[in-house]
Structure 1
Amino acid sequence: MEILGYRRPDGKVGIRNHILIIPTSVCASTVAANIARQIPDAVALPNQHGCCQIGPDHLQTLRTLVGFGKNPNVAAVLVVGLGCEGIPIQETAAEIAASGKPIEVVIIQEIGGTLKAEAEGLRKASELVRQVSHQQPAKVDISELSLAIECGGSDFTSGLASNPAVGIAADLLVAAGGNVMLSETTEFIGAEHVLARRAKTPEVAEKLFKIVHDCEERAKYLNIDIRDGQPTPGNIAGGITSIEEKSLGCIYKAGHAPIQDVLQYGEIPKGKGLYVMDTPGQDIESITGMLAGGATIVIFTTGRGTPTGSPIAPVIKITANPRTFELMEDNIDLDASPIISGEETIEQVGNRIFEEIISVSNGRRTKAESLGYKEFGIYKIAPTY
């Protein structure tokens, strides 16, 4: 089976062709946004971090920014730095450049302020556009696709219908040789033993148990019961009664394939198949981690409804709640409620989702894309100092 994709210099394949402008700190974010506003097909990351971060937190922000630059949906990159931030500007650019794609750098303090930086950035970004403007998508095997699966604003229909249907689509992609990432460690709690049975090796199972344990321990360190925040008020209003119930519904999204490995936030998989990534339950931070890990398309199930998109990847929104689809049809791409009404089976809707993945991979715009929704947020794991 084939889709249309852009083959990058490092051999990876994207399904979109963005010019990405990466501010290395919040201090450079406005300049980056002003440049992107004037360049067709350019998008700037609204990075709110990048300075006064230490240890693993600093490394995670760096890994996320570099991962976005390397993402196959990105054709070329402009890095915009202030000049004194903690994230190393030239190192960030050099790591992205290792992927072989065109890259430029602008440093505000060195060039003489924001107005000069914007002018220089505009010049460099327009040159990047010209360098990649000849690129056209070509037929590639569907095994080149990397799928991120997410759920948010879940209700009782999520675990009963939309998540199991996504699991069918995930299995189809894994069987075709593609990548699938399951995230949201918070939503493994109480179901981690079920998920761990599918680990490829005992070592992978142990890694899965560890990320769940560490997630709970971080909450205990703050003298907080994680169940105060999970399920969320919206989940409870939607009929989910406990974190265990939410978790059992969440893991349906991963289908039945063996888990190849457990990845840290923003880590790129080393092979094909199903992977678990250690992310928070917060939707946007979770999706950001998977995109930094190389995902090129996102499936997002929701019971209550959400408009969430992404700066660099199409996000397909699915609900099995007929009322939500009626109220938020402008934002939801696929109606899975026929499962609830008995008009379709989980397998039938799963196949429809897989067909939608193919269609979007071939250029069809999702509703979030057509509306310009580009949410982005890096998961912080330590205080800012």
Structure 2
Amino acid sequence: MSVTLRGRRRRDGRLGARNHVLVLPSVVCANQTATLIGSEPGAVAVVHQHGCGQVGDDVAHTERAFLGSATNPNVGAVVVVSLGCETIQGRRLARLIERGGQRVAFVGIQQLGGTFKTVDHGRLAVGRLRAELEADGLVEAGLEELVLGIAADGATRAVRELAEAARIAGASVVLAVPEGARGDWEGAPVIGYGQAAAAGISVVEQAGEGTEQHLALAGAGAQVIVSLRGPGRAPQGFATGPVLAVAGDPGIYAALEDDFDLDGSSAGAEDVWRRVISVFNGEQTASEKRGARDFVLHRIARTM
């Protein structure tokens, strides 16, 4: 029996499992303003500690992370919120996002005269973009359009079996593991941070650990992320995409049953894979239900 995905077709041809308007501050100083704009229905605002006092490769790495999250197919439009004097300039970021084929609006706090004027302009932009997104109906597609992200501590049996099940079904798989565990995937191509996932199974570099990996996977184009953690590891979410949290042991699952989606001690690869399809097609994960909007970046240098 064929399996069908239902999602939103983006301008670049990819299929989105969600239809968010992302409110993205280009710098930590714009977080509060972005949060106020993000209270508008249909918007998702993120907060972070980046965008100012950064140098060298770390600036480019952070910009790639912002760009990757903003152009992920689960995001239908973006409102960039800038202070005006940051290292990662909001106008430049908005232009890069637009060049990636994304709908984008820009609001600048210093340019508009302060927080409340910027919030008013930002909320108007969210409303306009939301109306455009609502006009984009759902379309059906095959599994070859699915990019499954797997966040893990290493190459466990559960990770390998899920990756292989997805690959056989026709999906692309991108893995995020700690740097020391990348060698466990010999033969799998390594993609740069912010680059699109390769066909088959690939591994993203500099993905970090824990919830940092979710941002790296979003930058590779993953529409659904499965978090396969070791024993005792708590579940975490992500700002713009569903994270299917699989408990690493029955004890942590019993303690946090509401916050996990599956108990890894009893759910096999096929069980997880079936849930991936259901989640892509609209079923909310536990992290989405509780509003977990984590947005954590693996930095490669200290803020100056």
Give the TM-score of the pair, scaled to structure 1. 0.74
**Larger Rg computed on CA atoms:** 1
Deviation of 1:280 after TM superposition, in Å, equals: 4.8
The match for 2:167 is 174
My pick for the range that moved more, 75-84 or 295-304, is 295-304
Q: Which moved more, 1:57-66 or 1:288-297?
A: 288-297
1:303-314 paired onto structure 2 within 5 Å = 303-314=231-242
CA distance in 1, matches of 2:123, 2:42: 13
- TM-score, normalised by the number of residues in structure 2: 0.93
How far did residue 168 of structure 1 move? 2.0
Structure 1 residue aligned with 2:69 = 68
Q: What CA distance in whole angstroms lies between the structure 2 residues aligned with 1:281 and 1:58?
A: 17
Q: Of 296, 315, 335, which aligns to 2:263?
A: 335
User: What is the match of residue 384 of structure 1?
Assistant: 303
In structure 1, the partner of 2:202 is 275
State the distance in 2 between where 1:64 and 1:99 align: 14
Could you list the per-position Cα deviations for residues 256-315 of structure 1 after superposition, in whole angstroms to 9, with x for gaps in the alignment? Answer: xxx1x212223223x311111113542111211111221111111232141310111101
Higher normalized helix content (fraction of residues): 1
Paired-residue identity, %: 33
Distance 2:270 2:254 in 1: 22
Residues of 2 paired with 1:307 and 1:276: CA distance? Answer: 22
What secondary structure sits across from 1:169 in the alignment? helix
Secondary structure of the 2:211 match is helix
Tell me, in whole angstroms, the C-alpha distance in 2 between the residues paired with 1:273 and 1:306.
Answer: 29
1:181 partner letter:
V
Contact 1:4–1:139, Cα closer than 8 Å, also in 2: yes
CA deviations over 1:131-184 (Å, ceiling 9, x no partner): 1112232211111111111136xxxxx97xxx4234222212222332211122
Number of aligned residue pairs: give it: 301
Query: Which residue in 2 is equivalent to 1:183?
Result: 176
> What corresponds to 2:185 in structure 1?
195
5 Å-filtered alignment, 1:334-353, equals 334-338=262-266, 349-353=268-272
Match in the other structure for 1:374: 293
Matched, 1:299 2:226: yes
| CA distance in structure 2 between the aligned counterparts of 1:318 and 1:100, rounded to whole angstroms | 33
What do you get for the CA RMSD once the two structures are aligned?
Answer: 1.8
Structure 2 partner of 1:322: 250
User: Matches of 2:124 and 2:220 in 1, distance apart?
Assistant: 30
Query: How do residues 39-54 of structure 1 correspond to structure 2 at under 5 angstroms?
Result: 39-54=40-55
Distance 1:376 1:262 in 2: 23
Q: In the aligned structure 2, how far is the partner of 1:195 from the partner of 1:128?
A: 41
Are the equivalent residues in 2 in contact too, given 1:9–1:99 (CA < 8 A)? Answer: no
- Pairwise CA distance, 1:48: 1.2
Cα separation, 2, equivalents of 1:379 and 1:173: 27
Q: Structure 2: 5+ residue runs without aligned partners?
A: none
Q: For 1:98 and 1:264, locate their aligned partners in 2 and report how far apart those are by CA, in whole Å.
A: 19
Contact 2:193 2:207 in 1 (8 A): no
- Asked whether the equivalents of residues 2 and 140 of structure 1 are also in contact (C-alpha less than 8 Å), the reply is yes
The CA distance in 2 between the partners of 1:74 and 1:129, in whole Å, is 11
